[in-house]
């Protein structure tokens, strides 16, 4: 059953130079559109939790963001800190350099350590592949590994490393997912038409910057439409 557009959106509040007041304003914008989550910096967890309490908008926090090259043990420590703070979801940047180099065992272990912390606590894990810098066969293999581990979503891009979501990459990911793993398009989504196209393709989530969320709707009436 199709949902309103707002329920596909992870409303990203991730600019590193934002003040607390600016982050609060950006989170409040997501709440005004009833987005699925606000996707926030680790420093804003408590702020987002307090603002989202009692709403239909969940708190998602990024991990290993935006480059993904932290030590696996550091990523596990991050995951444990987030679990203690009872976040709802985590968007983790994979070791995409390892994917480029074919180091699939290391790529898998990096994700598996975080998954083993979050999954028993019911916290959804979304893994960012940075698909724009991977070859099609690398996108497919990375997606297979994430699906085999049981992560909730594979995600195209951070939006911070130069690349955007593409229909080609999304098609590869949709064809490669297994089990209950879903696909999230993120990076460069700037219009309602583009967002709708990714949903029609089969994406379950869309990652958009906080400044883009109102652009997708055009007006407040569209936010509650259910024919997306």
Q: Which positions are annotated as active-site residues?
A: 91, 155, 184
**Alpha helix (H) ranges present in the chain?**
20-32, 45-52, 72-84, 96-101, 104-118, 136-149, 167-176, 192-201, 213-217
Are the C-beta atoms of 61 and 31 separated by less than 8 Å?
no
SS3 225: coil
CA triple 99-100-104, angle to 5 deg: 30
Q: Counting runs of H as helices and runs of E as strands, what totals does the chain give?
A: 9, 8
CA atoms within 13 A on the CB side of 124: 19
- The residues, any chain, with a CB within 8 Å of residue 131's CB and separated by 6 or more, are 139, 156, 157, 163, 165, 166, 169, 172, 173
14 CB contacts (<8 Å, ≥6 apart)? 39, 40, 41, 62, 65, 160, 209
**Cα(38)–Cα(50) distance, integer angstroms:** 12
């Amino acid at each position: 059953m199709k949902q309103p557009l707002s329920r596909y959106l992870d409303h990203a509040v991730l600019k590193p130079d934002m003040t607390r007041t600016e982050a609060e304003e950006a989170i409040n914008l997501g709440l005004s559109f009833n987005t699925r989550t606000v996707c926030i910096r680790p420093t804003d967890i408590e702020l987002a939790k307090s603002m989202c309490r009692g709403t239909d908008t969940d708190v998602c926090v990024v991990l290993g963001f935006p480059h993904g090259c932290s030590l696996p043990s550091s990523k596990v420590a991050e995951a444990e800190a987030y679990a203690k703070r009872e976040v709802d979801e985590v968007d983790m940047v994979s070791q995409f350099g390892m994917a480029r180099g074919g180091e699939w065992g290391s790529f898998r272990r990096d994700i598996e350590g975080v998954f083993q912390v979050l999954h028993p606590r019911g916290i959804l894990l979304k893994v960012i592949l940075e698909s724009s810098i991977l070859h099609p066969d690398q996108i497919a293999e990375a997606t297979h590994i994430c699906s085999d581990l049981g992560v909730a979503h594979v995600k195209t891009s951070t939006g911070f490393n130069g690349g955007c979501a593409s229909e080609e990459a999304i098609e590869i990911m949709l064809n490669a997912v297994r089990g209950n793993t879903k696909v999230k398009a993120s990076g460069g989504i700037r219009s309602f038409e583009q967002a709708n196209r990714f949903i029609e393709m089969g994406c379950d989530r869309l990652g958009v910057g906080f400044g883009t969320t109102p652009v997708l709707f055009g007006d407040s009436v569209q936010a509650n439409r259910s024919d997306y």
